[in-house]
A and B are shown apart, each in its own frame.
Chain A
Amino acid sequence: MDKQRIKPNFRRRCIQAVSALLYNANLPGFAEGSIYKGKSKGVCVPGLNCYSCPGAVASCPLGALQNALSNLPNKLPLYIAGFILLAGTALGRVVCGFLCPFGLIQELLHKIPTPKLKKNRWTRRLSRLKYVILAVFAVAMPLWYAFAMGMPVPAFCKYICPAGTLEGGFFLVGMREEYRALAGALFRWKTVLCAMILGACIFVYRGFCRFLCPLGAIYSMFSRIALLAVRVDKKLCNSCGLCEKACPMDIRQVGDHECIHCGHCASVCPKNAIYFGRERKS
């Protein structure tokens, strides 16, 4: 039991930092203001990481999904659908908790000492917004542009994604004169939105993940079947509810679709009933 108990946040933070570095291993790109063009860019990483970030050595699954949907009149999006199915069944929202650089940024911002907004029934309601954003901006709009206008438009990336603005936009527009000349109303909108989202994350734990992230919405659909997850040993659990109260996400029970499997609940469980991994044989 003790071996499988989750060690405090440090181990998770290390995994988050290492994955962020691995996703963005092209460090010279930040100095040069250029992006990586190697063959690994044809492979997706599981977390949200803009492929126009100068450091990115692989693709963002959400950008790749919208791009593939834009190609739907000619080709089925099998490659990205296969990747999402595999990542979802293996990891689910463990990706959000451990393997998403933008999640790490939000958690670090939340460490700034200020009054914090605790979860409540309004945040629970707002957590459904990410499914609307997934349906409208990541699926319907790219499809509409592709079929009605015949042009590829990754609408979520274009109008919302703060990761693209933060990781790619600020660096490239800041360092390259030709992009600075092109930056107009859309860049200003994305800058304001990015600043609002990052600012909100100081007060609201993982505000973007909880309310807006379509990739989290996709992975949340795999919460019941994902191989790796935080789980409750029903034989040990006394239903005290401390885990749900301690969790900063909008969960109703440990391991549900809002759970990012960070393991914070395990540290407060008086019965050591919460563990990380595959289901135990009963």
Chain B
Amino acid sequence: MTKRRTIRIILAGAGLFALTAGILQGGYRDTLIKAIHICMECIGIG
């Protein structure tokens, strides 16, 4: 139980770190740019 909780905390911490680093690196902007244009592959055209 304790081991499981430790792994969960480590992974959540790593996730938070990666998310913050990703935002600083421009990941949010990249996702936004992709998502505000119609994805031709997704709808089966491109």
Within 8 A of B (CB), among A204-256: 222, 224-227
Contact, CB under 8 Å: A52 / B39: yes
Chain B CB within 8 A of A187 CB: yes
Contact indicator B12/A82 (Cβ below 8 Å) = no
A164 lies within 8 A of B25 (CB): no
Are the CB atoms of A37 and B36 closer together than 8 Å? Answer: yes
Contact with A along B6-45 (1 / 0, CB 8 A): 0110011011111111110111111110111011111111
Which residues from 86 to 135 on chain A have a C-beta closer than 8 Å to any C-beta of chain B? 86, 88-90
Q: A83–B16 Cα gap in the complex (Å)?
A: 8
CB distance from A145 to the nearest CB of B (A): 11
A41 nearest CB neighbor, chain B only: B35
Q: Write the chain A residue with the least CB distance to B34.
A: A67
Q: How large is the interface on A (under 10, 10 to 19, 20 to 34, 35 or more residues)?
A: 35 or more
Interface flag for A269 (CB, 8 Å): no
A186 contacts the other chain (CB 8 A) = yes
The reply on A3 being an interface residue by CB < 8 A is no
Size band of the interface chain B makes with A: 35 or more
Which residues of B have CB within 8 Å of A64?
Answer: 31, 34-35
Chain B residues in 8 Å Cβ range of A56: 35
Contact A172 B27 (CB under 8 A): no
Residues from chain B with a CB closer than 8 A to the CB of A172 are: 38, 43
CB distance from A134 to the nearest CB of B (A): 17
Pick out which of these stretches binds chain B: A8-16, A72-80, A195-203, A259-267.
A72-80
Contact assessment for A158 and B41 in the assembled complex, using a CB-CB cutoff below 8 Å? yes
Q: When the two chains form their complex, are residues B42 and A187 in contact, meaning their CB atoms are under 8 A apart?
A: no
User: Are B35 and A168 neighbours in the complex by a CB distance under 8 Å?
Assistant: no
The complex places the Cα of A51 from the Cα of B34 at a distance, in Å, of 9
What B residues does A169 contact at CB under 8 A? 42-45
Contacts of A184 in B (CB 8 A): 45
Q: Is the CB of A173 within 8 A of B23?
A: no
Q: Considering only CB atoms, which chain A residue lies closest to B15 in the complex? A: A85
- Which of A80, A89, A161, A164 lies in contact with B22, CB distance below 8 A? A80
Q: Is the CB of B31 within 8 A of A158?
A: no
> A82 near B36 (CB under 8 angstroms)?
no
Asked whether, in the complex, the Cβ of B31 is within 8 Å of the Cβ of A157, the reply is: no
Partner of B15, one of A82, A154, A186, A187: A82
Q: Are B32 and A82 in contact (CB under 8 A)?
A: no
14 A-B interface contacts by CB (under 8 A): A43-B31, A51-B35, A52-B38, A64-B35, A76-B25, A81-B22, A82-B16, A82-B22, A83-B15, A83-B19, A157-B39, A164-B43, A191-B44, A226-B8
Q: Chain A: residues with CB nearer than 8 A to chain B?
A: 35-39, 41-44, 50-52, 56, 58-59, 63-64, 67-68, 71, 75-86, 88-90, 153-154, 157-158, 161, 164-165, 168-169, 172-173, 179, 182-184, 186-187, 189-191, 222, 224-227, 279, 282
